[in-house]
Structure 1
């Protein structure tokens, strides 16, 4: 990566820190998908983490919360994440390593092509009443209120729902 490319890259840690400090989320993280095959997804920016285990989580599209959001390009929220096991279709290693019971995630979109390049995830170790389909819009509105130029790579993008 050249210095010019690095200068144009969003400051994802700033987004994570801002969201963590200005909200009651116990965990905030951003996972990014590699541009190189096999396009692995890794958690690279976090706040409120209990350990460094998140650094060892490597996913592919469709696996875990981040993989599901990358594959579908749609927001995700769920309570009772601990009820899933390794054999479930929605096994969530980030929830297991960070002891999350409730989580919500939105895709990070890039360029006018609107490709999903990453995932912004927030979570709690307890069931949170806002994580349901009736009230989920408020949560996503709060996350979306962040500077959308930080949540994208390129012009004309942002976290859309």
Structure 2
């Protein structure tokens, strides 16, 4: 299994083990600050492949810039800024999202986003599992950077 397949497998296993509709992996580009979605499981279309957000923008850019997990409930009602600033939420019609940073060489460089097309939040134990998956992926990023 190559590195891309391993990463896809981690995304798919998160999706299989928790109550969510979508799992995606976004990474900051090697050159420049922009953030792009690289992998998805449970996606309803291929739009995620074309989404690129600025550092600090969108859910992925905000998680990378703060280095902290972010939860979005009841999208687009309870957000800061405009819904268009959250293209992955719009593209996948997500109402709920939980996103955690993935660190590379000590700095946040990626994001695992778990989302739902219903407004059902995930449990604390599911959040722990996602954080564990993020730690697992940290060891896989060498080949991507």
Q: Which residue of 1 aligns with 2:95?
A: 101
Q: What secondary structure sits across from 1:145 in the alignment?
A: helix
How far the C-alpha of 1:88 sits from its partner, in A, is 2.2
Distance 2:60 2:43 in 1: 16
Distance apart, 1:15 and its partner CA = 1.2
State the partner residue of 2:126: 139
**TM-aligned CA deviation for residue 118 of structure 1:** 0.5
For the structure 1 residues 36 and 142, does the alpha-carbon distance in structure 2 shift closer, same or farther, using more than 3 Å as the test?
Answer: same
RMSD: 2.7
Matched-pair contact (CA < 8 Å) for 2:18–2:126: no
Residues 29-60 of structure 1: CA deviation (Å, up to 9, x unaligned): 000111212x2111110000111111111111
Comparing both structures, which one devotes a greater share of its residues to helix?
2
Distance 1:115 1:126, change over 3 A: same
What is the match of residue 159 of structure 1? none
> How do 1:69-148 residues align onto structure 2 when only pairs under 5 Å count?
69-83=63-77, 88=82, 91-111=85-105, 114-130=106-122, 137-146=124-133, 148=135
**TM-score between the two structures when normalised by the length of structure 1:** 0.75
Distance 1:55 1:147, change over 3 A: closer
Instruction: Give the length in aligned residue pairs.
Output: 140
Residue of structure 2 aligned with 1:20, choices 15, 22, 34 = 15
Gaps of 5+ in 2: none
Extract structure 1 runs of 4+ deviating beyond 4 A: 7-10
Give the TM-score normalised by structure 2.
0.83
Q: Does 1:31 align with 2:18?
A: no
Rg comparison, structure with higher value? 1
CA distance in 1: counterparts of 2:6 and 2:29, whole angstroms: 17
CA contact (8 A) 2:11 2:41 kept: yes
3-state DSSP class of the match of 1:65? helix
